[in-house]
A and B are shown apart, each in its own frame.
Chain A
Amino acid sequence: DAGVIQSPRHEVTEMGQEVTLRCKPISGHDYLFWYRQTMMRGLELLIYFNNNVPIDDSGMPEDRFSAKMPNASFSTLKIQPSEPRDSAVYFCASSFRGQGNTIYFGEGSWLTVV
């Protein structure tokens, strides 16, 4: 299996620009998670989906962040407008309830907003 696939791996953008991060979960998984990692705050859960439906978005920082999952094999995390404090590594992860709920992570998208 290819694992969770994220793109882009690295992005540098200017403040105010729109950023779109993409994720392809492991085939057959019914849960998808978006996490953010910074030195100050560690790994934080932003939002997660079950069967393409958002279940808990309480970790989404503010209205500038939005996440969608139009189908079982694709999700996006969008930041508009981006700010320097959004600089972080964004991880996508997926799991299948029938596999003991083990969550598998992608390699992350490294975002720098200048």
Chain B
Amino acid sequence: DAKTTQPPSMDCAEGRAANLPCNHSTISGNEYVYWYRQIHSQGPQYIIHGLKNNETNEMASLIITEDRKSSTLILPHATLRDTAVYYCIVRAASNSGYALNFGKGTSLLVTP
């Protein structure tokens, strides 16, 4: 699976949009971009994933650049409960395995 690069930490004011970047310049054509987050003392939580097109769900939006070498997770109106470590993971949808390989992620702090 391709490697990802994320900033180690970010701050965001409550109510504002949080834009979390991720670089995955070596991504292959069959690899998806997944985002998970981990709130302190809890298990990782799935947020969203995509292949080429931008995706949106009730939690967030995922913007993938046209060359697919980077993406941005957008939390449109961050709340204090969004304070967590956010992991960007690229993962092949193949028969060889479906495990997620976590990096260090971005620690997002949402402030009042």
Contacts and interface: CB of A to CB of B under 8 A. Distances in A.
B44 A105 contact: yes
Interface in B67-112: 91, 93, 97-104
A108 B95 CA distance: 27
B93 A101 contact: yes
B45 interface: yes
Contacts of A93: 43-44
The main secondary structure of chain B at its interface with chain A is: loop
Q: Is the interface of A mostly helix, strand, loop or mixed?
A: strand
A95 B43 contact: no
A79 B25 CA distance: 39
Given A43-B102, A97-B98, 8 more contacts: A4-B43, A42-B102, A45-B100, A56-B99, A91-B44, A95-B98, A102-B49, A108-B43
A42 B103 contact: yes
Interface residues of A, number: 23
Nearest to A31: B98
Contacts of B93: 101
21 contacts: A31-B98, A33-B99, A42-B103, A44-B102, A45-B99, A48-B97, A48-B99, A56-B99, A91-B43, A91-B44, A93-B44, A95-B98, A101-B93, A101-B98, A102-B46, A102-B49, A103-B46, A103-B98, A104-B46, A106-B43, A108-B42
Contacts of A91: 43-44
Interface residues of B, number: 16
A42 B97 CA distance: 21
Nearest to A56: B97
A114 interface: no
Interface in A58-96: 91, 93, 95
Contacts of A106: 43
A41 B100 CA distance: 15
A1 to B, nearest CB: 14
Contacts of A4: 43
Residue among A31, A42, A43, A91 with max Cβ neighbours from chain B (10 Å): A43
Contact of A105 (B43, B98, B103): B43
